Structure 1
Amino acid sequence: MKTSPRPKQAQRQSAPRWVALAVRPLLLSLVALSLLAGISGGLLRAGVALPLPTDSAWPSQAALMHAALMICGFLGTVIGIERAVAVKLRSAFLAPLASGAGGALLLLGQPRPGAWMGVVAAAIFTAVNIVIVRRQRAAHTWLLLVAAGAWLAGNLLFATGQDSVATLPWWFAFLVMTIAAERLEMTRLMRRRPAAELSLQAVLGALIAGAAWSALAPVAGGLLYGAALALLALWLAAFDIARHTVRAHGLSRYMAVCLLGGYAWLAVAGVAWAGTAIGLPLRDAALHALGLGFIVSMMMGHAPVILPAIARVKLRFGVFFYVPLAVLHLSLLLRLVAGMAGNPLHSTGALLNAVAMALFAATIAGAAIAWRIQHGGPDALSTRKTSS
């Protein structure tokens, strides 16, 4: 019997919807897995005793793969989701699925498959950014594409067995340039001298050169990379809109405080990275001033804007958002100062870093609940139909 066109059309439309409903919790689970394992691994590396099972191999894997889990498994997946939502292509979700699966494989003691899954994720992610550039040729979209290429380069080095001296500069370049591109987009309507954009291109070019050079000449490459980070911090502090919005109120001021505090830590990271290259004991300061002080500050600042777009959750902003931010900065200061002095409080600072991230997650959840209570019902965005 011939099937009518309408049921066929409905069948074609319902399949993607079921796929979307299955993919979302899977992505959320993979993000949570990499984040929790990455934090646990970082605490173990910092000497914090955790109540973990001794008969399991995953804690040692989490400690060994801490950087890959946090940068590729967690942040890479989150950025991949954000970009897939923005580009509105179902195939774009293959990138965060691959990076999330790669993080899970790393945690399960499968480093080679996990690393190559990361290469697949970065390759798809780069292709997604090519689509974005074709749709909108602008300075910030080109920079997003270069950032994706940096992630691909770092993942290829990681998959081929290169050490952290070679891989970490590329991984951090991916995150730093992604943030720089987002800030460039946010401030594109501001009046700037032509030399400002040229200077930014020069700084980011030095960052890429430092990353590439680090594998061949660690001292020279590290010095150049550190100088580029410090110069980028100065550029952002001078030209970002945050220096104006910090005098505003509410969410705008909170975001500006997050950004300006992050730029200060970016400058610290640049100096520490250069110091590490010449043999000073500043590696922990370089990595965590950059990873926690700068990148997590940016995450805290942008989350109230990004989450409603990608997770369809509205948040009620309040002064309580400043609590995890303050804990993050104070605990990082404790960690790094104590670490340079060889003080046991270094591990306490690391533990409080994790507490700050947990407080932020609780703050986001509380803000979502508060919005629903205030408006007397479900999030208005949730009433919109799930896109097929």
Structure 2
Amino acid sequence: LRYAKPEFLNSIANDTPLPMIVDAEMGMPLDLSQWECLWDEDGDDSLLNPDTNNLPLLDPADQALLGDPVSMPTPYTNGSPSAVVSGVTTPTPANVTWLRKTEYLSRESSQRGSTSQEPKMLQQHIDVSRAAQLRDIEASFSTCNDPSSFDLATLQHPNKPGVTAVESYEIFPDADIWANAYDLFRFNERPGERPLDAEDPRLDCAILRPMESDGDHFLAYYLTKDDESAITFKESRSISQHADADQPSASFHYVRDYETVKVEQEVPNEFLLVLDDGDTTPYPTSSSPSVPRAKAAYYKNIERKMTLKKRRVAGNESYGDKWQVVHVSHTPFAQEELDERAEVLAEVVDPMFLLNRTEADAEGEVDESAVAQADKTDDVMDTADTDPLDIF
């Protein structure tokens, strides 16, 4: 009956007499002849306008009408004291239809009541002066400057008081992968054809190939044919970081296309973090021997974040640059690639990187307008002196 129409109650209301005893005038006197002051100017009007300093005595039966309902110890129901007295009153939500009181309304009323009881936080004055900032920065390095005073038991989580620290790591940039650019991809649903409860080691070494068709940009997704191929490929990458001509290539097969839903070009506060306990031995080279890295937490920044969803497959769609199989093999770096990686790696391995970059920027300051004018002149001269070419 919660959502039923209330018209069926009309007959019940008409047949039920109301327990009210009133006079013929419904409590409002209509006979004005009994008030002499209304007809006679010199009549006594004390009954209509009583003296505030000499008020008539109130009938004891009407004393309860002047009491405060909240402060009354005994609640009244329909004019008579209630037999059940409860010390807790249930608040009634405001603007609630009597026929639609559901669990949603009770939840809303409880949330509203808890919000109203929250104590107001006083605004604290924060010193942002230069001296205060220097003081706080120096205080954050107090543990590093004095390792003897460091104690894990004194560390406290800023938001979770019950969490305790069990181990500490120094934080360093990961020089082994710093020259690489990493993007973070999120899928709306698990890629591949296997169910969610089935393990799929192929997902750790998938390939995303940028594609374009009629101005539409998307990504082609590739996986290995079986689990053994994926495991072999990952083991070969973990053993050696350098090219091996005798190493067999790995084959990745086309699965489906994905399109981007959201792209975040700048991710300033998210990093890849690797906790190394000091037992990782990098691949030895001629310049660096096989020495384990120090125990630390190594980080690398994330370039971009993308959210992908499955691209709708069109039956008549075809594009010539589509590959069904991708064969991946290792090749040596070209000298240009090595120079580019060394330049990026210098950011974390060269102590003079910032100073050298500042000097390079200062030496490279030239008049941009003069350069633009010179480029325009060179373009005109090159156009005049160049013979026409046939392009096939």
Task: State whether TM-score is above 0.5.
Answer: no
Q: Which has the higher helix share?
A: 1
Higher relative contact order (CA 8 A, sep 6+): 2
Calculate the TM-score normalised by the size of structure 1: 0.24
Larger Rg over CA atoms: 2
Calculate the TM-score normalised by the size of structure 2: 0.24
Q: Which has the higher strand share?
A: 2
